Chain A
C-alpha cells in the first residue's frame, strides 16, 4: 500500500498570509500512460464532507478560488494557500489515486493565528 505522510499536522497562519502543506507518498504516483500525478487535495470543514480542491496534483477543481494551488511530482507534493481567508479554516487531506487502496494523508489542521 502507498503510505501518504503530511506535514505539518497543524499550522496557524495570520489572515492574509500564506500557508503551505506538504504531502509525501511512499512511492511515485505518476501514471506513465497520461503523465499525470494521481494526487488529490481535499478540504474538510467541521461537520461537513470533504470537498475536492485539487486533482492531478495541480489542477484546480471548478469553483475553487485561485488562492489554492498544488504542485509537485512523483512523491513530493505541496498545497499552497496564497492568502489565508477566515473561511479556509479546515483540515486538509492529500490522497493518492494511483491505485487501490486509495490512501489519504493523516490531515493538516489550518487555523488562524
Chain B
C-alpha cells in the first residue's frame, strides 16, 4: 500500500525556518517524481514545487522561489521541503504527492498526482 506521511510542521515566527519531511513507503520511491502542494486555511490548492526522481531537476512556484528548497534522499525514501524566510502568507497545510507515471512507446509521462499524504500544518505568526 502506498503511503506518504508528512512531518515537521509547526508554529514559527515570520522570517523563521522549518524543514518538512515526507516519508514514503509501499512503492519504489526512487522511480517517482514528487511534488509539494499547499492549502491555506479555507482556501484552494496551490502547487509549490516538484523534484525529479534522482533529485537533479527541480521547479518552484514564483511565490516560494529563492526561499524554499525541495530535495530528496532516495536511500531513506524521504522527500524534504526546506522553508526559509517564512511569511505569514505561507501559513498552510503542506501536502506531499507522488507524480503518476505512465510509460509506453519508449517514453514515460507524468500525468497527475495520484497519491497524497495527509498533510502537515505550518503556521507563521508572531
Contact = CB atoms under 8 A, between A and B. Distances in A.
A52 B50 contact: no
A109 B61 CA distance: 25
Chain B contact residues: over half helix, strand or loop, or mixed? strand
Interface residues of B, number: 23
Interface of A: 1, 31, 33-34, 36, 38, 40, 42, 44, 48-52, 55-56, 61, 91, 93, 95, 97, 100-107
Interface in B22-48: 35, 37, 44-47
B112 A55 contact: yes
A64 B113 CA distance: 15
Contact of B62 (A36, A49, A95, A101): A101
A56 B44 contact: no
Contacts of B109: 31, 34, 36
Query: Max chain A CB contacts within 10 Å: which of B35, B59, B100, B112?
Result: B112
Given A103-B47, A107-B45, 12 more contacts: A34-B109, A42-B113, A49-B116, A50-B45, A51-B116, A52-B112, A52-B114, A56-B111, A95-B47, A95-B112, A100-B59, A106-B44
A104 B111 contact: no
A51 B118 CA distance: 11
Given A55-B100, A101-B59, A36 B45 contact: no
A49 B96 CA distance: 10
A61 B114 contact: yes
A44 B43 CA distance: 12
Contact of A52 (B44, B45, B107, B113): B113
18 contacts: A31-B109, A33-B107, A34-B107, A40-B112, A49-B116, A50-B45, A51-B116, A52-B112, A52-B113, A91-B44, A93-B44, A102-B47, A102-B50, A103-B47, A104-B44, A104-B46, A106-B44, A107-B44
Interface in B53-74: 59, 61-62
B27 to A, nearest CB: 14
Contacts of B95: 49-50
A34 B45 CA distance: 27
